Amino acid sequence: MPSVTDRYNPLDAEILRDPYPVLAELRMRAPVFWHTGMDSWTLTRYADSVRVLRDHETFARDPRRTGGKVPEPSLSVQTLDPPQQSRVRSLFMTALRAQDLVGVEDRARLLVRERLDQLAGGGPFDVVAEIAVPLSVAVVADLLGVEPPPYGEFAEVSDAIMRSMDGGLNPALVEPGRVARQQLSDLVDSWFAASARSGLLARVRQAMAADPDALTRLYVKNTARVMFQGGYSTMAAAVGNAVHTLLAHPGALGRMRDGALLATGVDELVRFDGPVQGTTRTAVRSCRIGHVDIAPGQKVVPLFAAANRDPAAFTRADELVLDRIPNRHLGYGWGPHSCIGTTVAQAGLRALVAALNDHPARLAAAGEGVRHRTATMRAFDTLPAALLV
């Protein structure tokens, strides 16, 4: 039988269905191992992942720090490192804190409620197309203060970008990803040119008016694109995963009628089966993780999905514990690149769960879902369900 490290192919059908058993075996037998397909050191322990995510001086996100190149449209909060990144990040964080997230949550809850009204009693439907995509486009557009683009069209562009995140495993995905990024850039350009409604983008533009630096403007525009596309795609994936988890745990949805459980439960759903499976950093100097020596220039991949089930960090790690406190999971990352949109995502997930609980019809599974064949993002292509009246 091949070793567990040889068996770990994130695109394998069985692993896409349920990655957690093989990740648990890796955590035990090979917590730091070289993955040839990903050309990286892969980490499965919580403590090792946190260390890498925190230490941005040793582990770079910006490929230029290790001699790589970044095309201009990709220079954003996501690809820069502190100190360059910090100014852009704080611009967006400050603008986000000034937004009315209660309003975003209320409008999202109403949107889901209306869609459930349309779907109830009408036979099986696809949770991704009917709920996850519209909810996520609406939440992110509402936050930014822009007109939501047509759902279907936007989902296709976003899909191409999401698939290109696996470009290391499949180079054929890189070019369609580049074209899609350009399309999205054109859309974001049009938002910047037009006078935006009140919202995060208007706030950022206002703050930028006092900063004539062309480079900052470029970073800000690219970051607005990441907020929209990255925010949408992770949110949509999280909604699909959350509904799947709730369907597999009878009683969990109903228990989240309790406000305290709703608040802690949406975080537990992301820990239990979150959308972002891992991330990449590059060592800028020699270092050691566990028993492994890492050379400068080598890539390191902390696997959030493995860290989030590490029994050294979480009691009853393989169980869904809706009232888990504290819950310092890595589903939203950690350190200087942790998710900017965490509070927005939490609001969107609360809106979803609350609307499902508001509705008199009962959500039920209506067959097996089909997973996206992507390693970085854990998502459903389709997830059939029905609303029984």
The residues of the shown chain that bind ligand HEM, judged by CB under 6 A, are 77-78, 89, 140, 143, 226-227, 230-231, 234-235, 238, 270, 274-276, 279, 331-333, 337-341, 344-345
Stated as kind and residue range, the H or E segment containing 32 is strand 32-35
Closer Cβ to ligand HEM, 237 or 294, answer by number: 237
Closer Cβ to ligand HEM, 270 or 354, answer by number: 270
H-only helix segments in 120-213: 127, 133-144, 151-164, 174-193, 200-209
Nearest distance in Å: CB 62, ligand HEM? 10
DSSP state of 72: G
Closer Cβ to ligand HEM, 331 or 387, answer by number: 331
Nearest distance in Å: CB 346, ligand HEM? 8
Closer Cβ to ligand HEM, 198 or 338, answer by number: 338
Nearest distance in Å: CB 140, ligand HEM? 5
Answer for the pair 384, 124: CB distance below 8 angstroms, yes or no: yes
Say whether the peptide bond before residue 124 is cis (omega within 30 degrees of 0). Answer: no
CA contacts within 13 A on the Cβ side of 10 = 24
Closer Cβ to ligand HEM, 256 or 340, answer by number: 340
Closer Cβ to ligand HEM, 231 or 369, answer by number: 231
Nearest distance in Å: CB 89, ligand HEM? 5
Q: How many residues can be counted in the chain?
A: 389
Answer for the pair 375, 355: CB distance below 8 angstroms, yes or no: no
Stated as kind and residue range, the H or E segment containing 243 is helix 214-248
Answer for the pair 374, 166: CB distance below 8 angstroms, yes or no: yes
What distance in Å separates the CA atoms of residue 288 and residue 295, rounded to the nearest whole number?
A: 9
Say whether the peptide bond before residue 19 is cis (omega within 30 degrees of 0). Answer: no
Say whether the peptide bond before residue 83 is cis (omega within 30 degrees of 0). Answer: yes
What distance in Å separates the CA atoms of residue 173 and residue 69, rounded to the nearest whole number?
A: 18
Closer Cβ to ligand HEM, 25 or 298, answer by number: 298
Nearest distance in Å: CB 97, ligand HEM? 13
What are the tokens at 193? 């040119």
Nearest distance in Å: CB 120, ligand HEM? 26
Nearest distance in Å: CB 180, ligand HEM? 18
